[in-house]
Structure 1
């Protein structure tokens, strides 16, 4: 490991920061999936990720934007810095890292050539159609960073894999080797790596012994024709020597036995039970999202949303969908508030008069350590944790296609802000740039030119009268995504022809132009939509800009009944009215003589 002046001070600061993050955790975290070619309609590989975090990430920038890292050649003996991730202990509200400069935990040997890739809080896709996604998990032991012992978290692990690998299994092996050699700190993590033909899951946590410099990891292949889902809880269960579809650290069983948490006498190692307490924030925080996606894709399985505990085996590692999944179907998996189920967040009193599916987070929603080996904290209450959440920074569905050259076959469909109301924009693997709107943004400064703020504004404005606005939003969303899919189909053909003719540079220019221009167009269209929604739904009215007609629809009858509207000042005998029990709002009025007594009026109403 390279030495720097002030390294000891930085590591002390780093460890203190990690402790602060653990104390101020807020409810967030991610949902991920992988849809293998045999499960998709056009034999694409799809990998999806919602980045539901808050605060600065390993880049020392807010986690609401993406970055393009170009390919590079490196001189012999060159080192690669490994950066500390302030979100490695939690998704701390407000980003406890503040204005601190990036912290270098150590250095590893650089390779002669690194590939171009897209990254955000975690790596996303590289120029060779290697895809990645991440979700945070609850591990029994979550150690802090330590110089010379634990320098890697999942964010930098995913980045190094995209820099150096072209295939999913290779990425898993590289990540595992880095953990074994340089150690691991922070929360438990699930990483998906997928190439056009194969997908793997690797799950990681700290060693159970703080004196140990390494970490623990297990990887498992996703069978072709199947779909994998994870949502803040480890998904790998039985780990058996000799399984050709599993890889794990060479000393996994030895470390677990030495720590006293497992022995051969216990039978087959259950990874989840051994290293984790399961659920991340409250009962059903994680497993409900796994149930929802599996049930949406394979209703024939008749999966129940109710389980005994978070160690349930009711939801298999992977499922085969009843019907093949296409691109828009993959998008729709992230656009869900449990509509039509017993957990539907768009209905009931909590959704307000206009069906707002989003809930403000409070202290009982925090994903602090709510359980341990002996106790579970039964909190005052909880809201269902939806797949599309108001605190989402961005989401994406990355697509890899074996039928096309790598620069063309890989497409990162990137959506800023909340998944339900976003528009997924195509970003080609062979592009060398992105729209500046997608590469900028800070939560502490409103910037109308940033894609995040463009989409975040529309979501928040829609919450004023969600049931009325969401139809307009989704109609525009469908229109723009359909245009993008058609554009990609046309660009695929043109770029592939250029590559076949030996004009790789021309293909790169085309892919870059399409990526940047389409991103700009989508942001411009969403600005226009925002203006329309502001004019149409300001001040409690519904205004038609074309006809200038104005409506004042007020509130739905059920809401008026539940909120005491019928006890409002509709008669002068207000005290007597409020003392009358059992009045319902009837949506009708009556005429009475001016000299009518309140008893006469009460009989009529």
Structure 2
């Protein structure tokens, strides 16, 4: 792989290749990306799943405990009549017990009730990433109004609560759609992985219950931005590497989108996905082919290399609400399943390690009103005043992003070097941390093991905050002294679909991103 600064200074020649098509993508579909690397391509035989969510929202970390539920309990799913494709909320049955999981929640998506999630990691080592994947226009137009059934966040959360393997997570998502329908903003996908394999799962608009899934093996890499699946076998119902709704091919034939008799291969993207975007076009300044080539070239992949990919400025900008890297191993107890999380866009924020055995999240990393939906129209709920009084990690590192990305050629190399040095120390010690916790659990001291994991992550999280303060003070002081802070230009402070803050060097902000 190219070193970070070299990659930044490389001319962005691919940015206009699909510009016309990209300009037509709705902004609310411009959301989330994921990277998968199979276990035969990693240094320690683990599976790595990285990526981020892209939402105009504050994000907060939550560790959700294992819970028991009473007979007759239900889960509310779906979207409201305020969604871009109006819907109605319904309920589905809850299971007797749900698993422990860690997730980044957020609030802001019109008509999709908060808290929302793009996935996370559960106690069985199942990791999920939600990624946009727009359906063809005809499917969007035929979607019932009102629509009903679980939406993308519901599917991710329920799969985390119930799945023991990645394959089982796919089956759960498919069964939910088969039995209860699907609510959408226009199509979506999930990238799911465990210690052995990955899966891409696409859900299509249209109200017809269409979904498809493809297995990713130990020698494969995948970049989803958007999520995609290509050729699909006609015997997918009997093929262990594929899954899908029973009507997946027959409905396409009824619509005249596929002719099985002509012997033409059935291509999921060519039949059901957005028709004016190439299958692996990518978005922003990084084509999917390029990402996948760099993932494969980085083999043997490590968590540190995956963090570098997730925070690459070609794709990590203000729209990247947080960063995640799940390190999925088969030789650890459930409490030691590990995910690294950056509290906001990782281009200027550190990844902090969180184990599933941890009991709590520091209040600085919990829910705050910064960028929370309707925060500007309401006063604070008094029950939250102590937590709200703490400094919000998301806001701290957003400030560092704004200063750094205003002069990335000057400040980004040093900020990146500091973040990587901080993470490097944690990467070097995480093995000892896990061995210590494992001894405590093995000696029948689970409470002590969990307190130890909580103490470790809380300590490193607060050290990350102190690092953020030091970097911010340095960058802000020099920005004022050397460059000055320009006066506000007037006009609308919010972006209305154009450029957003990013740390790319050498790109032309007047040129449209794809």
Give TM class, smaller chain.
Answer: 0.7 to 0.9
How far 1:41 sits from its partner (Å)?
Answer: 0.6
CA gap of 1:247–1:500, structure 2 versus 1, over 3 A, is same
Are the equivalent residues in 2 in contact too, given 1:49–1:134 (CA < 8 A)? no
Q: Paired residue for 1:76?
A: 71
How far 1:463 sits from its partner (Å)?
Answer: 2.8
Computed over aligned residues only, the root mean square deviation of the Cα atoms, in angstroms, reads 3.0
How far 1:33 sits from its partner (Å)?
Answer: 1.1
Q: Paired residue for 2:402?
A: 460
> Which entry has the higher C-alpha Rg, 1 or 2?
1
Are the equivalent residues in 2 in contact too, given 1:85–1:155 (CA < 8 A)? no
Q: How does 1:503-582 map to 2 (within 5 A)?
A: 503-540=445-482
Q: Paired residue for 2:271?
A: 274
Q: In structure 1, what is the Cα distance between the partners aligned to 2:198 and 2:175? A: 18
Q: Paired residue for 2:94?
A: 110
Range that drifts further, 428-437 or 254-263: 254-263
Q: In structure 1, what is the Cα distance between the partners aligned to 2:438 and 2:274? A: 49
Q: Paired residue for 2:197?
A: 198
Q: In structure 2, what is the Cα distance between the partners aligned to 1:335 and 1:269? A: 35
Q: Paired residue for 2:249?
A: 253
Are the equivalent residues in 1 in contact too, given 2:188–2:204 (CA < 8 A)? yes
Q: In structure 1, what is the Cα distance between the partners aligned to 2:189 and 2:398? A: 27
CA gap of 1:449–1:326, structure 2 versus 1, over 3 A, is same
Residues 1:178 and 2:176 are matched in the alignment: yes
How far 1:181 sits from its partner (Å)?
Answer: 0.8
Q: In structure 2, what is the Cα distance between the partners aligned to 1:278 and 1:518? A: 46
Q: Paired residue for 1:368?
A: none
Q: In structure 2, what is the Cα distance between the partners aligned to 1:221 and 1:23? A: 27
Residues 1:496 and 2:490 are matched in the alignment: no
Q: Paired residue for 1:329?
A: 305
Are the equivalent residues in 2 in contact too, given 1:406–1:430 (CA < 8 A)? yes
How far 1:157 sits from its partner (Å)?
Answer: 0.2
How far 1:150 sits from its partner (Å)?
Answer: 2.5
CA gap of 1:63–1:185, structure 2 versus 1, over 3 A, is farther
CA gap of 1:281–1:226, structure 2 versus 1, over 3 A, is closer
| Secondary structure, aligned partner of 2:102 | strand
Are the equivalent residues in 2 in contact too, given 1:180–1:214 (CA < 8 A)? no
Question: Unaligned 5+ residue runs, structure 1?
Answer: 1-21, 55-61, 91-96, 98-102, 208-212, 299-320, 338-385, 543-558, 560-605
Q: Deviations over 1:276-317 (max 9, x none)?
A: 22466999443943122122234xxxxxxxxxxxxxxxxxxx
**TM-score normalised by length of structure 2:** 0.76
How far 1:243 sits from its partner (Å)?
Answer: 2.9
Q: In structure 2, what is the Cα distance between the partners aligned to 1:85 and 1:201? A: 27
Residues 1:128 and 2:124 are matched in the alignment: yes
CA gap of 1:123–1:285, structure 2 versus 1, over 3 A, is closer
CA gap of 1:327–1:397, structure 2 versus 1, over 3 A, is same
How far 1:537 sits from its partner (Å)?
Answer: 2.8
How far 1:496 sits from its partner (Å)?
Answer: 1.1
Q: Paired residue for 1:232?
A: 226
How far 1:219 sits from its partner (Å)?
Answer: 0.9
Q: Deviations over 1:67-102 (max 9, x none)?
A: 332211011121122253899759xxxxxx9xxxxx
Q: In structure 2, what is the Cα distance between the partners aligned to 1:146 and 1:294? A: 38
How far 1:485 sits from its partner (Å)?
Answer: 1.5
Are the equivalent residues in 2 in contact too, given 1:182–1:214 (CA < 8 A)? no
How far 1:106 sits from its partner (Å)?
Answer: 1.2
CA gap of 1:164–1:27, structure 2 versus 1, over 3 A, is closer
Q: In structure 2, what is the Cα distance between the partners aligned to 1:76 and 1:137? A: 36
Q: In structure 2, what is the Cα distance between the partners aligned to 1:466 and 1:332? A: 16
Q: Paired residue for 2:340?
A: 413
Higher relative contact order (CA 8 A, sep 6+): 2
How far 1:122 sits from its partner (Å)?
Answer: 1.5
Are the equivalent residues in 1 in contact too, given 2:79–2:148 (CA < 8 A)? no
Are the equivalent residues in 1 in contact too, given 2:39–2:218 (CA < 8 A)? yes
Q: In structure 1, what is the Cα distance between the partners aligned to 2:37 and 2:416? A: 24
Q: In structure 2, what is the Cα distance between the partners aligned to 1:219 and 1:465? A: 43
Q: Paired residue for 2:62?
A: 67
Q: Paired residue for 1:33?
A: 35
Q: Paired residue for 2:321?
A: 393
Q: Deviations over 1:382-402 (max 9, x none)?
A: xxxx32223211121111111
Q: Paired residue for 2:492?
A: none
CA gap of 1:496–1:89, structure 2 versus 1, over 3 A, is farther
| Secondary structure, aligned partner of 1:426 | strand
Q: In structure 2, what is the Cα distance between the partners aligned to 1:134 and 1:467? A: 32
Range that drifts further, 230-239 or 446-455: 446-455
CA gap of 1:27–1:179, structure 2 versus 1, over 3 A, is closer
Question: Unaligned 5+ residue runs, structure 2?
Answer: 1-23, 106-116, 377-387, 485-505, 507-514
Are the equivalent residues in 1 in contact too, given 2:78–2:148 (CA < 8 A)? no
Q: In structure 2, what is the Cα distance between the partners aligned to 1:494 and 1:449? A: 31
Q: In structure 1, what is the Cα distance between the partners aligned to 2:289 and 2:310? A: 13
Q: In structure 2, what is the Cα distance between the partners aligned to 1:52 and 1:280? A: 20
